[in-house]
């Protein structure tokens, strides 16, 4: 059963602030963006900039671990021999089916 209560719907409207207003509250807007809130700066009522947190790059050890896991998962698996890969195209007599 679905809830019809509006409060149960997690649709958040992004915070919109004019560039002029943002000048005085930039530290607060940055904190909100870092916390995950969507902050949009507007100019003349039109969205122009979205503040988002920068994702940090993984350190060298983490990158190496991820690459090794990728190499293992992408290693080739044994399949049918290339010499026999088109056998289904020919009958027992060697003629095309």
Could you state, in order of their start, the residue ranges of all structural domains in the chain?
A: 11-54
The architecture CATH gives domain 11-54: 3-Layer(aba) Sandwich (3.40)
CB 40 within 8 A of CB 47: yes
Helices (H), the chain: 19-34, 60-73
pLDDT confidence of residue 1 = 46
User: What confidence tens digit (pLDDT) does each residue in 72-88 have?
Assistant: 888 777 777 777 778 88
* Whole-angstrom distance, CA of residue 16 vs CA of residue 34: 16
pTM of the model: 0.48
CB 15 within 8 A of CB 40: yes
User: What confidence tens digit (pLDDT) does each residue in 3-48 have?
Assistant: 455 555 555 788 899 999 999 999 999 999 999 889 999 999 999 9
pLDDT confidence of residue 24 = 92
* Whole-angstrom distance, CA of residue 35 vs CA of residue 14: 13
């Amino acid at each position: 059963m679905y809830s019809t209560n509006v409060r149960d719907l997690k649709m958040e409207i992004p915070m919109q602030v004019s560039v002029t207003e943002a000048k005085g509250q930039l530290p607060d807007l940055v904190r909100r963006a870092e916390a995950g809130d969507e902050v949009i700066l507007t100019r003349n009522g039109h969205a122009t900039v979205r503040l988002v947190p920068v994702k940090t790059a993984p350190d060298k050890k983490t990158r190496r671990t991820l690459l090794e896991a990728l190499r293992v998962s992408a290693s080739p698996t044994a399949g049918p021999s290339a010499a026999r890969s088109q056998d289904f195209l020919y009958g027992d007599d060697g003629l095309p089916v």
